[in-house]
């Protein structure tokens, strides 16, 4: 909603370069580098009608709905091509209004909570990069992460992050009470994950299912084969 309000205000003041900068930063930093990176595991691996997968699809459709309208005055032909696919307006995207995002939540509180959670994620990314630089892992899914955070931050994880390893894009993650190497917002320890890479989701697993699948993928494939 903030991006929509900021872009619309800039349009009214003829600050078109500010619109481009704002939307590009949103798509690069928030959508591509964070949300899509995290959500692709859910989109590619979960069951077709899994509730989490459908929720991600809903978020992405909302993103597309908002962004294509905001870009339309600048990327006129591209926006029209996207509209031909999404059918946001039967005649033309240029005959629609900017999308109004209505959120029945405490937006400021959620932003504050996510800022705290993302600070921990930044610590984990730094720890992972150190392991890559040392040659101990090649990619994040080869890692197993241990986290030590304060009780307030742990409560936020319990509220917003039901699957810690998936959110961190590692094969295994857990909270511990032990003292670990200190980073800016949390304590983090990264080890090499045990087992082998599942050929379907690429998470490391010690499971011994047919074709080397992890338990999660084996269950999904078996269900879809029925």
pLDDT tens figures, 30-40: 999 999 999 99
In order of their start, the domains of the chain are 2-95 (1.10.730.10), 107-194 (3.30.2320.20)
Whole-number Cα distances in Å, 121 to 50, 59, 185, 188: 26, 21, 9, 10
- As given in the structure block, the two tokens for residue 186 are 């949390």
Q: Report the pLDDT value the prediction gives residue 221, as an integer from 0 to 100.
A: 94
The candidate with the shortest Cα–Cα distance to 189, out of 135, 92, 136, 124, is 124
Please write down the long-range contacts of 194-201, taking CB distance under 8 Å and 24 or more positions apart.
194/144, 197/141, 197/142, 200/45, 201/41, 201/44, 201/45
Q: 0.85 cut: is pTM over it?
A: yes
pLDDT tens figures, 47-102: 999 999 999 999 999 999 999 999 999 999 999 999 999 988 888 999 988 887 77
């Amino acid at each position: 909603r903030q991006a929509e309000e900021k872009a619309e205000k800039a349009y009214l003041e003829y600050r078109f370069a500010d619109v481009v900068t704002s939307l590009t930063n949103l798509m690069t930093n928030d959508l591509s580098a964070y949300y899509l990176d995290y959500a692709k595991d859910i989109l590619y691996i979960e069951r077709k009608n899994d509730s989490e997968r459908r929720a991600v699809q809903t978020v992405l459709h909302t993103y597309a709905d908002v962004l294509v309208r905001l870009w339309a005055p600048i990327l006129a032909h591209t926006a029209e091509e996207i509209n031909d696919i999404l059918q946001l307006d039967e005649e033309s995207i240029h005959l629609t209004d900017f999308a109004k995002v209505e959120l029945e939540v405490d937006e400021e509180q959620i932003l504050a909570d996510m800022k705290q959670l993302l600070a921990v994620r930044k610590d984990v990314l730094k720890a992972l990069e150190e392991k890559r630089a040392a040659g101990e892992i090649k990619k994040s899914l080869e890692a197993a992460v241990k986290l030590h955070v304060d009780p307030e931050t742990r409560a936020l994880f319990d509220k917003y992050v039901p699957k810690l390893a998936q959110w961190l894009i590692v094969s295994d993650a857990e909270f511990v009470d032990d003292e670990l190497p200190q980073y800016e917002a949390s304590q983090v320890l990264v080890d090499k994950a045990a087992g082998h890479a599942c050929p379907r989701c690429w998470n490391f697993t010690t499971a011994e299912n047919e074709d080397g699948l992890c338990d999660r993928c084996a269950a999904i494939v078996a269900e879809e084969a029925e």
